[in-house]
């Protein structure tokens, strides 16, 4: 197969350092914190080996598949036929995904395991299937910002994916016999690990590791997207809302604003009935957020901006109460300051109503800003970002949007990138586009 992979973006010094270390090796690990550009680093390793492999099989959590495609497009300018992105979860029971992986991986393949800590369970079907499938590949790469969450035992399957020769054990039982001590009364509970110096020495030649603090200059703000999809009930209600407006044939500012708001409510997992009661619809957006929080690890401070009262209530009930505080509009100033003080000290997650971005809040403690959903206002979006990065801040801040694929979320983000509002975009199309069809534009939402 003939294909060409080009690079449209430059590497940062730490990314170049990672590439130079791992390029001479057929297997390697990128243990780089979120926000340090490990996806760009992996793409460069692929690009520099063009012509030496038959295909790239990129295993990743299903929630970030679209994000990986967007990153490849951003850094390469196009997605060559060699790229194959497969959800890790699908390797548990999805026969089509399992067959695709087995068909694509041969002795010249390049297999990447993104968020490699997803296969740390040595008994899990997906872990063993991915390890066995990758064993034939010429090149293998694991990537994670959090390779160890429970203990050194998390490393076994990740390095088994690369090669059993690295750690020197063909089974988890021989690994545990040499390195793990279990509780006498709870046989599954590890109470102590041994010979860690030996393990460190064995993996060191194959690992490039860095944190945000040690990788030098980074942009002031790093932007990324996490996509998810509607469930069938949401998709049906979403379609019916659009059809109702199209049948009415009224496309003024009021009808459009109402439609946009109703569509966003469906994407947030609820729909008001005629009596004002909220009907829950299931919430893939919340599931995507939970996946994202898991990938970010437990050391970062996070601000989550949300639009609807339903969002605030849902997040308050679903996120860990010992880690989370919620800032709502309309509370007294002294209560507001108490919540902010808790966020700066013992709590690491602040959920806030995006309406409060208009207030002079100091959220400079944040490392990551997540937009659970966006408003229609570009000014409101800018203020929300700036509240988390006051003048004089030197640390890089990461801004992450949760977007529902093939929905109004995409239109809103596009308009915000153009420093506009989605309703303004609609009016601009009417005024400037010859033969513009409001019906087609609404159908494209």
CA 247 vs CA 74, 439, 443: distances in Å: 39, 10, 12
Q: Would you say the CATH fold of 221-229+261-443 matches that of 13-214?
A: yes
- Cβ neighbours for 51, distance < 8 A, ≥ 6 positions apart: none
Cα gap 13→300, rounded to integer Å: 23
CA dihedral 230, 233, 234, 237 (to 10 degrees): 150
Specify whether the CB–CB gap between 150 and 191 falls below 8 A: no
Which sign does the torsion angle of CA 412, 418, 423, 428 carry?
A: negative
Q: How confident is the model at residue 390 (pLDDT cuts 50, 70, 90)?
A: low
CA atoms within 13 A on the CB side of 414: 13
Pairing of strands 397-404, 368-371: parallel
* Adjacency order of strands within the sheet including 139-143: 83-87, 56-60, 110-114, 139-143, 27-32, 207-210
Query: Looking at the domain that runs over 13-214, which CATH code has it been given?
Result: 3.40.50.10810
Of the candidate ranges 50-54, 164-168, 433-437, the one whose mean pLDDT is the lowest: 433-437
Q: List C-alpha distances in Å: 344 to 324, 347, 388.
A: 11, 7, 12
Least confident of 40-49, 67-76, 80-89, 113-122: 67-76
For residue 430, is pLDDT > 50?
A: no
List the Cα angle 359/361/366 in 5-degree steps: 140
Q: What percent of the chain has pLDDT over 70?
A: 92
Beta bridge partners of 337: none
pLDDT over 70 (residue 393): no
pLDDT at 371: 97
Q: 4-54, pLDDT tens digit by residue?
A: 888 888 998 999 999 999 999 999 999 998 778 899 999 999 999 999 999
Q: Pairing relation of β-strands 56-60 and 27-32?
A: unpaired
Let me know: does 155 contact 43? Beta carbons within 8 Å: no
Rounded to a whole number of angstroms, the CA Rg of the chain reads 24
Q: At what angle do helices 172-179 and 155-162 cross, to 10 degrees?
A: 130
Average pLDDT over residues 180-196: 89
Domain residue extents for the chain: 13-214, 221-229+261-443
> Would you give the end-to-end CA distance of the chain in angstroms?
37
Residue 337 scores a pLDDT above 90: no
How would you class 265 by CB atoms within 10 Å of its CB: exposed for 0-12, middle for 13-18, buried for 19 or more?
buried
Q: b/e string for 404-418 if b means 16 or more Cβ within 10 A? A: beebbbbbbbebbee
Burial of 51 (0-12, 13-18, 19+ CB in 10 A): exposed
- φ, ψ at 320 (rounded to 5°): -60, 120
**Between 391 and 388, the higher pLDDT residue:** 388
Distances (CA, A) of 263 to 187, 267, 407, 445: 50, 6, 9, 9
Buried b (16+ CB within 10 A) or exposed e, 293-316: bbbbeeebbbbbbbbbebbbbbbe
Give dist(CA 244, CA 247) in Å, integer.
Answer: 5
CATH architecture of 221-229+261-443: 3-Layer(aba) Sandwich (3.40)
Tell me, what's the pLDDT at 212?
73
């Amino acid at each position: 197969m003939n294909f060409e992979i080009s690079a449209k973006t430059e590497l940062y010094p730490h990314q170049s350092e990672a590439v130079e270390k791992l390029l001479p090796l057929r297997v390697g690990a990128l243990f780089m914190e979120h926000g340090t550009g490990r996806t760009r680093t992996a793409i460069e390793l692929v690009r520099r080996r063009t012509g030496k492999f038959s295909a790239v099989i990129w295993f990743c959590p299903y929630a970030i598949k679209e994000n990986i495609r967007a990153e490849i497009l951003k850094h390469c300018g196009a997605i060559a036929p060699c790229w194959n992105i497969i959800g890790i979860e699908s390797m548990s029971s999805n026969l089509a995904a399992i067959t695709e992986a087995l068909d694509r991986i041969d002795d010249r393949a390049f297999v990447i395991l993104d968020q490699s800590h997803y296969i740390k369970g040595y008994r899990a079907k997906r872990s063993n299937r991915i390890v066995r499938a990758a064993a034939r590949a010429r090149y293998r790469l694991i990537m994670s910002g959090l390779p160890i969450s429970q203990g050194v035992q998390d490393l076994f399957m990740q390095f088994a994916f690369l090669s059993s020769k690295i750690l020197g054990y063909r089974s988890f039982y021989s690994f545990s016999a040499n390195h793990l001590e279990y509780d006498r009364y709870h046989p599954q509970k590890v109470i102590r690990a041994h010979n860690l110096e030996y393990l460190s020495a064995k993996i060191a030649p194959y690992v490039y590791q860095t944190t945000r603090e040690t990788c030098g200059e980074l942009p002031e703000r790093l932007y990324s997207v996490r996509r998810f999809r509607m469930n069938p009930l949401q998709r049906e209600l979403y379609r019916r809302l659009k059809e109702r407006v199209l049948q009415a044939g009224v496309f003024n500012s009021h009808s459009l604003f109402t439609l946009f708001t109703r569509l966003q409510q469906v994407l947030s997992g609820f729909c008001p009935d005629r009596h004002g009661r909220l009907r829950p619809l299931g919430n893939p957006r919340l599931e995507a957020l939970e996946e994202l929080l898991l990938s970010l690890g437990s050391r970062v401070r996070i601000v989550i901006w949300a639009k609807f009262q339903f969002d605030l209530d849902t997040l308050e009930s679903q996120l860990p109460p010992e880690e989370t505080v919620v800032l709502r509009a309309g509370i007294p100033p002294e209560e507001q300051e108490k919540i902010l003080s808790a966020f700066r000290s013992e709590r690491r997650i602040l959920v806030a109503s995006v309406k409060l971005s208009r207030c002079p809040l100091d959220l400079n403690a944040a490392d990551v800003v997540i937009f659970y959903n966006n408003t229609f206002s570009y000014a409101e979006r800018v203020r929300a970002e700036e509240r988390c990065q006051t003048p004089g801040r030197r640390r890089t801040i990461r801004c992450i949007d949760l977007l529902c694929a093939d929905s109004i979320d995409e239109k809103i983000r596009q308009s915000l990138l153009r420093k506009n509002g989605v309703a303004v975009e609609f009016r601009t199309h009417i005024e400037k586009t010859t033969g513009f069809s409001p019906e087609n534009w609404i159908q494209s939402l």
